[in-house]
Amino acid sequence: MLGHLCQAAACRALAVDYRLAPEAPFPAALEDCLTAYRWLLKTGTPADQIVIAGDSAGGNLTLTTMMALRDAGDPMPAGSVCISPMTDLACTGESFNTRKDALLTPKQARDFARYYAGEQDPRLPLISPCYGDLSGLPPLLIHAGGDETLLSDAQRLADRARAAGVDVRLDIWPHLWHVWHVYTPFMPEARQAVEAIGAFVRTRVKSATFEG
């Protein structure tokens, strides 16, 4: 999927091999993402040439990384992309009870959330970004499937980000499931979604460069 996204966006990618729960619960993965972003800046990549993107748990880390960068006074990226993000690790979304996801079940989502949060309160903003302050974040593209367990997480994220003044675009793809983008070689809907992300990335980087 990452290769297809790079082709669509005409860019290179740095894939962060962050530490995983349950062996390394919060905040290990977030710390690794912050280290990777700051390494890019240190080695000469301007912030306005970076778009942070992630799917599922990576969508969560996309948001919390930017929140932590903002709070620390680091330069912000040109934009961000969240594919089927998990934003509420308390798992209170309505879609947990009403959707039939072909890939991610409510039990799996709850188990993953418990592994990651460990002994911490799952509603902490840097664990569940939908409970945090989203102001000051760069433009955000969110993709979610209409049938996915985490649909409510995406919808609530979009609502709260807009209320905080963030430029948000939420695209809900009817009848699709969690991170259908991985089927790009086989599904027209996956190819179309990847192309839409590529166009967003190209626009954000071009706009940031022009504005700068």
Read off the pLDDT of residues 149-202 as tens digits, 9 standing for 90 and up. 999 999 999 999 999 999 999 999 999 999 999 999 999 999 999 999 999 999
Catalytic residue flag (residue 56): yes
Catalytic residue from among 80, 84, 95, 148: 148
Catalytic residue flag (residue 178): yes
Q: What's the confidence (pLDDT) of residue 71?
A: 98
Question: What is the rounded distance in angstroms from the CA atom of residue 212 to the CA atom of residue 209?
Answer: 5
Read off the pLDDT of residues 163-176 as tens digits, 9 standing for 90 and up. 999 999 999 999 99
Catalytic residue from among 4, 56, 80, 143: 56
> And the tokens for 57?
């748990």
Q: What's the confidence (pLDDT) of residue 212?
A: 45
Question: What is the rounded distance in angstroms from the CA atom of residue 24 to the CA atom of residue 20?
Answer: 5
- Looking at the DSSP bridge assignments, the partners of residue 79 are 51
**53 CB-near residues (< 8 Å, 6+ apart):** 5, 62, 80, 81, 82, 83, 197, 201
Q: What pTM does this model have?
A: 0.96
Q: Which residues of the chain have pLDDT under 50?
A: 212
State what percent of residues in the chain have pLDDT above 90: 97
CA dihedral 210, 69, 132, 140 (to 10 degrees): 30
CA dihedral sign of residues 129, 36, 195, 4: negative
Q: What's the confidence (pLDDT) of residue 208?
A: 63
Structural domain boundaries in the chain: 2-211
Surface-to-core class of residue 49, CB atoms within 10 Å of its CB (0-12 exposed, 13-18 middle, 19+ buried): middle
Q: Give CA separation, 189 vs 86, 100, 181, 199, in Å.
A: 21, 18, 8, 15
Question: What is the rounded distance in angstroms from the CA atom of residue 7 to the CA atom of residue 15?
Answer: 15
- Give me the long-range contacts of 15-24 (CB less than 8 A, separation at least 24): 18/61, 21/112, 21/115, 21/116, 21/118, 22/115, 22/116, 22/118
Catalytic residue flag (residue 148): yes
Superfamily of domain 2-211: Alpha/Beta hydrolase fold, catalytic domain (3.40.50.1820)
Catalytic residue from among 4, 80, 84, 178: 178
Q: What's the confidence (pLDDT) of residue 207?
A: 72
**Angle in degrees, CA 6, 126, 25, rounded to 5:** 85
Q: Give CA separation, 25 vs 20, 29, 64, 192, in Å.
A: 7, 7, 14, 34
